[in-house]
Amino acid sequence: YGEKQDTEKDTSTDYFSDENLIALVSNLFVAGTETTASTLRRGILLMMRYPEDRNQKSLGLDNPRIARRTQMPYTDAVIQEVQRFANILPAGLPRATTTDIVLKNCYIPKATEVIIFLTSVLRDQTQWEIQDIFNPEHCLNSKGKFIKKAAFMPFSSGRRMCAGESLAKMELFLFFTSLLQKLTFCHLTPDIGFTTRPTPHEICAVVRA
Ligand code: HEM
């Protein structure tokens, strides 16, 4: 970047400026932390709800390594299904059309703001057998081999799709597998005291209709 700042300084200082560098690096932190953390948290919740899927054998017994990933199809299937089901960025990011376009008989002029509703793909009933249920079998063929379906797009698709897809997938695999191999996550345990009060936790209270 420093080298580029020197070579480009006569033409433009906009792109390779310190200000832009700070914005870019901050973007990576913002885009990369909450997304991955929320997916992991949703994954842990799902493993508590579907304990059969956190079966130690299916998650491998050694320290997880990316090189071994292909030998762990069930783990891949669980993680992919967590991402599909958790659907953590339902509306992607706002974009704009670069040209006039007709999509499914609908005319969209150039520069229209568009939001891609990723849920419509991740929960598409023509693509997923039981779209509203967490089911790792969605991502396995009849021989138990991992399959990546075209409708699996939590990172969106096209030129402006997630720039951190491979990093995120690597992080999810390593963290998820390490956590589940070493720990069993249980539902709320009572706090120690005279009464069996719950440990501090957050809830959402919804007014009844
Ligand atoms: C489970 C984790 C993640 C999910 C589900 C996710 C999902 C997405 C989605 C849906 C978009 C919008 C794409 C579009 O508008 O078409 C996006 C954009 C982006 N993501 Fe991620 N992301 C994840 C992790 C990360 C990580 C770890 C990084 C980098 C450290 C990252 C960097 C970015 C950047 C830079 C963009 C903007 C790309 C652009 O505008 O060209 N993401 N992500």
The pLDDT assigned to 183 comes to: 84
Ligand 1, atom 41, lies closest to the CA of: 160
Task: Calculate how far, in angstroms, residue 20's C-alpha sits from the geometric centre of ligand 1.
Answer: 18
The pLDDT assigned to 185 comes to: 83
Residue ranges of the annotated binding site are 162
Ligand 1, atom 3, lies closest to the CA of: 35
Local confidence band at 4 (pLDDT 50, 70, 90 cut-offs):
confident
In this predicted model, which residue has the larger pLDDT, 109 or 10?
109
Ligand 1, atom 24, lies closest to the CA of: 32
Contacts 24+ apart (CB under 8 A), 33-41: 35/88, 35/89, 35/168, 36/168, 36/171, 36/172, 36/175, 38/86, 38/88, 39/82, 39/83, 39/86, 39/88, 39/168, 39/172, 40/172, 40/175, 40/176, 40/179
The pLDDT assigned to 86 comes to: 94
Question: Could you report the predicted ipTM of this complex, rounded to two decimals?
Answer: 0.98
What's the CATH code, domain 2-182? 1.10.630.10
Residues contacting ligand 1 via CB (< 6 Å):
27-28, 31-32, 35-36, 39, 88-89, 92-93, 95, 154-156, 160-164, 167-168
Q: What tens digit of pLDDT does each residue of 142-198 get?
A: 998 999 899 999 999 988 999 999 999 999 999 998 888 888 888 777 788 888 788
Which ligand 1 atom is the nearest neighbour of the CA of 168? 27
In the beta sheet, which residues pair with residue 103?
Answer: 106
Estimate to the nearest angstrom the gap between the alpha carbon of 4 and the chain centroid. 33
Q: What tens digit of pLDDT does each residue of 106-143 get?
A: 999 999 999 999 999 999 999 999 989 999 999 999 99
Q: What tens digit of pLDDT does each residue of 48-61 get?
A: 888 776 654 556 66
